[in-house]
Structure 1
Amino acid sequence: MAIRVGSTSNLAGGTEDTHPNPDTEILYFLACRWKCWRLGIHKALAPLQTAWNAFSQPVPTSCSELLTQLLLCASLACVIAGLLHHWLISSQLYPQGPPALVTTVCGLLVFLSLGLVPPIRCLFALSVPTLGSEQGRRLLLSYSVANLAVAVVPNVLANVGAAGQVLCCVTEGSLESLLNTTYQLGLASQALGPASQAGSRSLAFGVQGNSSAFRLHMHMAAQQILEDFSGLEFLTQAALRTQRVVTGLFMLGLLGDSAWYLHHYLTNLRFDNIYATRQLVQQLTQAGATHLLASPPPWLLQTAQPKLSHEELLSCLFRLGLLALLLVATAVTAATDYGAFLLAQAAVAWAQKLPTVPVTLTVKYDASYKLLDFILFVLNQPPVESKFASAQRSFQWELYPMPHDCPLPQAQPPQVRAALTAGALQLLAGATLVLQAYAWRLRHAIAASFFPVQEARRVSHLQDRLQRRQDWNDHLDKQACTTGTWVPREPRQGTRTPESQGLKSLDSSLASM
């Protein structure tokens, strides 16, 4: 009896429904889409794989590999020279001329070294996964803090200094207006002096104090504020230079860590030799010893998708919490920068809109006398006044809230890009916490690509190590059978060590493709 998938029998009419099942169509469509997607990824990764094969080739076998290798080496040399030039200029340790010459010479040396010495190419390639280690995370955080110190902190100080300058100018203008008012009142008193002396009382107005002393005191106060901000800017620049030097040392530390790994990889067959790669599986298959992987040892990494252990996950979460505090501090710094900009902008706009106040002082002085005032009071008659002196003067001046010789600085816009760059670097440092366990596997895959002969020796050593372990287990089983204490062993799944956890190695990824 034949069974047709996707069709049903119609018992009433005896005919068959030839329409396919909708669920089958959906599954078939998804399978086709998945195959097309994988094919597209393979086509996109093919040029990258070709470039990597040419870059990791000790001696190019064709002209195309030679040109690709030279192009990649030249690109890396230009990038390294540009970073070195930026570091020398930003650290302000040298003038403009010598860094250009130094970076040019270093770029040529790097190009020649990468093109002629394959281990140096491997060294630079190993520096990329080293960024996922503790050393790389320190480098990223150091550069993040340096970016905040060079852009955001001086901008905050400049905006706060602008607001302080506005306050000083307004205070100085108010003081000048006050002194000008007292001076005009003194002039009015002097102008009415002859008329006031004609009577029995005199009008006198005196100002105690020295205007030059007021001006000198305000000038000294403003200079003290500016000196305080100059001291903060000097400390910021000193911290920036120190941070640049520390960043350079961290870069050297990255290269040193990569050189240490490469040295141990080439000289010690047991170093980081804990991976069940495709080459090991093929070699065991050819030797008929696949039983060695039936019960793998705890230190052998053979899982295709390793996971973090519980302890590593807790440690990762704790460090991510510390990085979250740093992100909060960066956000507070960026908010402070924006707040200082708004404060300085509002202060400068308010000071520019302060109007000039015109002042008019009119002084009228009348002097009169009365005769027989007492007699007229007894007779209930109004007194008779006789004017003998009269004076009226008007004085006009203007109150300037802002002095003409006090320039107003412009508010500096917030450094949004610098703050975003610092935050992105800190997020990248947080990502390296998760990828730190995977960095060792990637370093092993890179070293294996550059030195296939050494990798073959290491695989043979690992096979011998597994064989000795199997022989020892068989010997123990024979002794247990002889003594009557033999218990069947259950196959154990290989566990993972912290330094060997990671993404799929290059061999495993190629096998899955």
Structure 2
Amino acid sequence: MAQTSGSLMSFFVGKTKATLNIIWDVYSKPTPCNLKEVFGLIVLCLAISGSTGGLLYVWMNFTLQYDPFPSLITAAVSGSTLALVLFLLHPMRCAFTIILPSLGTKQGRKILISTALTILATKCIPNMVNNVSSVVVMMKCSTQVAVEGILNSTTEIKSAVADMKEILEDIPDFTDTETIPHLQQGTNIYEMMQKLEKVSKELKADISTQQKVLETTSNVVQKVIAVAFILLLLGGSVWYLIGYLTDILLGGAIGDIVDFFGSANVKTMRKDYSYVIPMLPPRCVKELSPPEQSVLVTVGALYLTAFFMTLVEVYARRMRRKICTSFYRKREEQRVQYLLAKVLKKREGPVN
């Protein structure tokens, strides 16, 4: 029974490998040989372009925050164009296919890390500005409470001064009570509050303006990076393919304030005057927002991908070479013959 199961497994594995080899052979041929291969190539190109267009729509709509309709139109046009290009142009099929292993090379890691750093900057800086704005609101609230408390504390000070006058008047030979300080009556709290409100509004307006500029810049930079990311991937693949075809040797090439207590120890005056002014009352405290979890996940995934690619860089280079070999078999034979001739010439050199 175990032998029968093993035989069936081997049969299905062999059948699957044979089918995949046939599909890859049709895809990598310069021109199809018959109508069956033409139909198979059309299906493959439509499947690749359809999945690429779907990923492009998701990226534009959910990541780059474009509207759904423009994203759908762009994805549809890009997918249709890609299907036509892949079907008609054999070199573009090769260049498009080696994009994935190109991510595992040094160039791909640079692109991933640069993208992660840019996303981190464009997403975290606006969040920092929002937190600064919240801190300004807390400072405004705390300052208002402190000013009100300080100004209202004059009641306690006036009471202390009055008690001191009563005590001093009872002291013999002390009749000059004019030296006792007089507090200004009717302090204009409303005027001070108006000035504080004006300064706070001006500061908040400045921060709001900077925040809008940063948000606009962040959106623009993110879209530019998206285009540059695609162009770099495709450009790197095309450059490698050109190097493979033209160079026979090479395969291509970021607290509390405690106020005041008065104690007049003249005669038997024992009385404390205290007034507490909280610097940051609970009603003034606002919760600061941490960075978005999606940003942290995206940046972490990009860094992990870049780290993983360093471990498989050798295999990525080999895969890129094998893809080019399967698309251009004659060119690979020329390269092998050239290298063998060079090795033989080097061995025969000292003998001659």
The normalised TM-score by structure 1 is 0.46
Q: Name which of 199, 206, 216 aligns with 1:227.
A: 206
Tell me if 1:426 matches 2:303. yes
Shift of 1:160: 4.4
Residue 216 of structure 1 pairs with residue 195 of structure 2? yes
1:126 deviates by: 1.6
Alpha-carbon distance, 1:263 to partner: 2.4
Q: Deviations over 1:203-262 (max 9, x none)?
A: x98123352233322441354156246526634653563354245234323322221222
Q: Quick one: structure 1 residues 67 and 238, their matched pair in 2 at CA, closer, same or farther if it must change by over 3 Å? A: closer
Paired residue for 2:137? 165
Query: How much does 1:150 deviate?
Result: 4.1
Structure 1 residue 140 displacement after superposition? 0.8
Residues 475 and 132 of structure 1: is their aligned pair in 2 closer, same or farther, counting only changes over 3 Å? closer
Spell out the pairing of 1:67-466 with structure 2 (5 A cutoff).
Answer: 68-79=43-54, 81-82=56-57, 85-86=60-61, 89-90=64-65, 101-173=73-145, 175=147, 206-221=185-200, 223-225=202-204, 227-228=206-207, 230-231=209-210, 234-235=213-214, 237-238=216-217, 241-242=220-221, 244-272=223-251, 412=289, 414-452=291-329, 454-455=330-331, 458-460=332-334, 462-463=336-337, 465-466=339-340
**By how many angstroms is 1:182 displaced?**
7.5
User: What is the deviation of 1:422?
Assistant: 0.3
Distance 1:233 1:132, change over 3 A: farther
Query: Using the alignment, how far apart are the partners of 2:208 and 2:14 within structure 1?
Result: 58
CA displacement 1:36-79 (0-9 Å, x = unmatched): 99888767766655554443344274266245414323324414
Q: Look up the match of 2:40.
A: 65
Q: Unaligned 5+ residue runs, structure 2?
A: 159-182, 255-280
- Are 2:126 and 2:215, in contact at CA under 8 Å, matched by a contact in 1? yes
* Gap regions ≥5 residues in structure 1: 1-28, 187-203, 274-325, 327-400, 480-513
Corresponding letter in the other structure for 2:44: Q
Q: Give the Cα–Cα distance (whole angstroms) in 1 for the partners of residues 116 and 16 of structure 2.
A: 33
Retained in 2: the 8 A contact 1:173–1:402? Answer: no
Return the match for 1:56 from 28, 36, 57.
28
Letter in 2 for 1:470: L
Structure holding more helix per residue: 2
Residue 172 of structure 1 and its aligned partner are, at CA, apart by 2.8
How far the C-alpha of 1:151 sits from its partner, in A, is 3.5
Structure 2 CA distance, aligned partners of 1:433 and 1:237? 35
Identity %: 24
SS of the residue aligned with 1:105? helix
Structure number with greater Rg is: 1
Deviations 1:245-298 (A, max 9, x none): 24523432332222122223334444439xxxxxxxxxxxxxxxxxxxxxxxxx
Distance 1:222 1:81, change over 3 A: same
For 1:82, the aligned partner's letter is Y
Greater CA drift, 468-477 or 111-120 = 468-477
Distance of aligned partners of 1:414 and 1:213 in 2 relative to their CA distance in 1, 3 Å threshold = same
Aligned to 2:169: none
Q: Which amino acid aligns with 2:140?
A: C
Query: Counterparts of 1:216 and 1:44 in 2: how far apart (Å)?
Result: 79
1:176 shift after superposition: 5.1
1:246/1:119 CA distance change after superposition, 3 Å: same
Aligned in 2, Cα 1:414/1:43: closer, same or farther, shift over 3 Å?
farther
Structure ranking higher in strand proportion: 1
Tell me if the contact between 1:148 and 1:418 (Cα under 8 Å) persists in the aligned partners: yes
**Cα distance change on mapping 1:67 and 1:104 into 2, 3 Å:** closer
- RMSD across aligned C-alpha pairs, in angstroms? 4.7
- Paired letter, 2:344: Q
Task: Give the deviation of 1:424 after TM superposition.
Answer: 1.6
Opposite residue 234 of structure 1, the aligned amino acid is V
Q: Tell me the alpha carbon deviations over residues 304-339 of structure 1, each in whole angstroms, 9 at most, x when there is no partner.
A: xxxxxxxxxxxxxxxxxxxxxx8xxxxxxxxxxxxx
Q: Is the 8 A contact 1:131 1:137 kept in 2?
A: yes
The size of the alignment, in residue pairs, is 298
